[in-house]
Copies of this chain bind each other. A is one copy, B any other.
Amino acid sequence: MKLKVKILKFLAGRPIAVLNNSTANHINVHVGERITLSKYADSLVSIVDVSKDLIGKEEIAVSQEIIEALNIKEDDEVEVSLATKPQSTFYIKKKMDGGVLTKEEIYSIIKDIVDNALTEAETAYFVAAVYKNKMSNTETENLISAMVSVGKRLSFDGIVVDKHSIGGIAANRTTPIVVSICAAAGLTMPKTSSRAITSAAGTADVIESISKVEFNTEELKAIVKKTGACMAWNGILGLSPADDKLIQTERILALDPEAQLLASVLSKKIAVGSKHVLIDIPFGTSAKVSKEKAQELKKKFEYFGKRFGLNLRCVLTNGEQPIGNGIGPLLEIRDVIKVLKQEKDSPKDLEEKALFLAGQIIELCGKTKKEKGLELAREILKSGKASKKFYEIIEAQKGSVPTIAEIDKKLGSHKKNILAEKNFKISQIDNKKINLLASVAGSPMDKGSGLYLYYRIGDKVKKGDKILTIYSDSKTRLENALELYEKFNPLI
């Protein structure tokens, strides 16, 4: 049927058309389904939204994407009809019913996700199907290839190394230290990181408190060329656009199907041209995975790493408690700077873990002999070379490294010390609870908010000792965090 075009000024992201609900009934299309719009020889498929009274029966409101694709203007007439479903929806149904997907079927789903041809609900069905029915090794391998094939690929000179942590541990901000040590050792480390997904802050959120993190690929290449490394946000680089969309859908229920976790990490490492890749898998009661699960995951990472020609190593690390004292962007960058500058009160657990990881990378790429990596990493840190490299990278990213005193001034203006109510020995510090508490205080949105932890598991605390400080930019959020603390008891 023919309908008159009304221009929808603001909506974007994918073609969207709004029909009067009586018109929608006539065409037999429902919210979230698709129609084909055509004008002369041009046509495109759009998702439908339905409105009762904001648009007439003879009209169709269309988003900018449609205006541009069909080259139409207000009050033009377009031909509208029910569109058929993309073929990939049938493959999603197949997976939902326990079928095994072929290479072509997986490519078709991934391509349609990137092209916005699938709706949020359809993408959710795909995630649910993979979550429930898992993927075989062959399917996972095809998923990784498909994800790489729809994204951009970069390449860098030199010995290109990378690291990734599967996350879940509060603070644990080793990346800036590891990157600085490795780059100072002469390796190329084009590190891209996510923002907070399940934790209180991601590396991108933390670095953003002192420099830019959003770059296009040209800018990124220039930074790496100049300094040997970068610490950028992976969200706008388009390295694995299918993964970016799948992660959005997974976040909704905090689902993390294993095949997608593997594909997410590996597709980004392949896209960025990394050759030597270290994967950190922290395990523990309040970590993402148990020791058993960590061992399984290690095998899978190594298997797929080999399939894609990566020199990949997994390390299983203790994830029983947060690593470092600060949780929240500025509180974490303060810990990082203290370690790099070798300040007396720097968090030793963070330093040791960063040295261990950097040492592993140095050995993995053959820069030193076996068991000599840690030694070299420590030497680079102690000598001040890592600190110097960190300043270089931050400057190349149009930022500047603040002093500890400058950071202290920027911490949340509302703060509250939590005191021990009795003498006790700390037996548990729950990562998930600590992360949630820091989020409620305002992290990562408000850079100066978060927590400061004074103790570790095994430490003895006396009644009245300061065990925790909560920082927030807002009085209300501080109160919310305190209320949650009472309810939660993240530290016992």
CB of A32 within 8 A of CB of B248, answer yes
**Chain B residues with CB below 8 A from A251, complex form:** 30, 33
Q: How far is the CA of A105 from the CA of B419 in the complex (A)?
A: 37
CB of B26 within 8 A of CB of A96, answer no
Contact pattern, A 32-62, Cβ under 8 Å of B = 1, otherwise 0: 1100000000000000011111110000010
Is the CB of A238 closer than 8 A to any CB of chain B? no
User: Distance (Å) between the CB of A88 and the closest chain B CB?
Assistant: 11
Q: How far is the CA of A13 from the CA of B132 in the complex (A)?
A: 31
Is the CB of A426 closer than 8 A to any CB of chain B? no
**Chain B residues with CB below 8 A from A93, complex form:** 253-255
**Chain B residues with CB below 8 A from A12, complex form:** 18, 49-54
In the complex, which residues 1-20 of chain A have their Cβ closer than 8 Å to any Cβ of chain B? 6, 8-13, 18
Q: How far is the CA of A120 from the CA of B124 in the complex (A)?
A: 9
Copies in the complex: 2
CB of B120 within 8 A of CB of A32, answer yes
**Chain B residues with CB below 8 A from A11, complex form:** 8, 11, 18, 49, 51, 54
Say yes or no: A445-B253 contact (C-beta < 8 A), given A13-B49, A18-B11, A49-B11: no
Is the CB of A119 closer than 8 A to any CB of chain B? yes
**Chain B residues with CB below 8 A from A347, complex form:** none
**Chain B residues with CB below 8 A from A50, complex form:** 12-13
**Chain B residues with CB below 8 A from A27, complex form:** 445
**Chain B residues with CB below 8 A from A82, complex form:** 445
CB of A54 within 8 A of CB of B9, answer yes
In the complex, which residues 402-461 of chain A have their Cβ closer than 8 Å to any Cβ of chain B? 444-445
User: Distance (Å) between the CB of A448 and the closest chain B CB?
Assistant: 14
Q: Which among B10, B55, B119 is the interface contact of A18 at CB below 8 angstroms?
A: B10
Q: Which of A8, A10, A11, A26 has the most CB of B within 10 A?
A: A10
**Chain B residues with CB below 8 A from A122, complex form:** 124, 252-253
Q: How far is the CA of A120 from the CA of B128 in the complex (A)?
A: 14
CB of B96 within 8 A of CB of A128, answer yes
User: Nearest chain-B residue to A6 (Cβ)?
Assistant: B10
Is the CB of A123 closer than 8 A to any CB of chain B? yes
**Chain B residues with CB below 8 A from A54, complex form:** 9-12, 64
CB of B119 within 8 A of CB of A253, answer no
Q: How far is the CA of A470 from the CA of B33 in the complex (A)?
A: 27
User: Distance (Å) between the CB of A122 and the closest chain B CB?
Assistant: 6
Contact pattern, A 130-143, Cβ under 8 Å of B = 1, otherwise 0: 01100000000000
**Chain B residues with CB below 8 A from A64, complex form:** 54
**Chain B residues with CB below 8 A from A253, complex form:** 89, 92-93, 96, 122, 125
Is the CB of A129 closer than 8 A to any CB of chain B? yes
In the complex, which residues 263-316 of chain A have their Cβ closer than 8 Å to any Cβ of chain B? none
Contact pattern, A 101-123, Cβ under 8 Å of B = 1, otherwise 0: 00000000000000000011111
User: Nearest chain-B residue to A443 (Cβ)?
Assistant: B28
Q: How far is the CA of A11 from the CA of B19 in the complex (A)?
A: 10
Q: How far is the CA of A57 from the CA of B336 in the complex (A)?
A: 31
Q: How far is the CA of A26 from the CA of B252 in the complex (A)?
A: 18
Q: Which of A92, A121, A123 has the most CB of B within 10 A?
A: A121
User: Nearest chain-B residue to A12 (Cβ)?
Assistant: B51
**Chain B residues with CB below 8 A from A89, complex form:** 252-253
Is the CB of A195 closer than 8 A to any CB of chain B? yes
CB of A196 within 8 A of CB of B28, answer yes
Is the CB of A209 closer than 8 A to any CB of chain B? no
User: Distance (Å) between the CB of A25 and the closest chain B CB?
Assistant: 7
Q: Which among B120, B128, B249, B252 is the interface contact of A129 at CB below 8 angstroms?
A: B128
Is the CB of A222 closer than 8 A to any CB of chain B? no
Residue pairs across A and B with Cβ atoms less than 8 A apart, 26 shown, are: A10-B51, A10-B54, A11-B49, A12-B52, A12-B53, A26-B445, A28-B195, A28-B444, A28-B445, A31-B248, A32-B248, A32-B252, A89-B252, A92-B253, A93-B254, A93-B255, A96-B131, A96-B132, A119-B120, A119-B252, A120-B121, A120-B124, A121-B123, A121-B252, A122-B252, A128-B128
9 closest A-B pairs (Cβ-Cβ)?
A128-B128, A12-B51, A121-B124, A10-B61, A124-B124, A120-B121, A93-B253, A132-B132, A30-B248
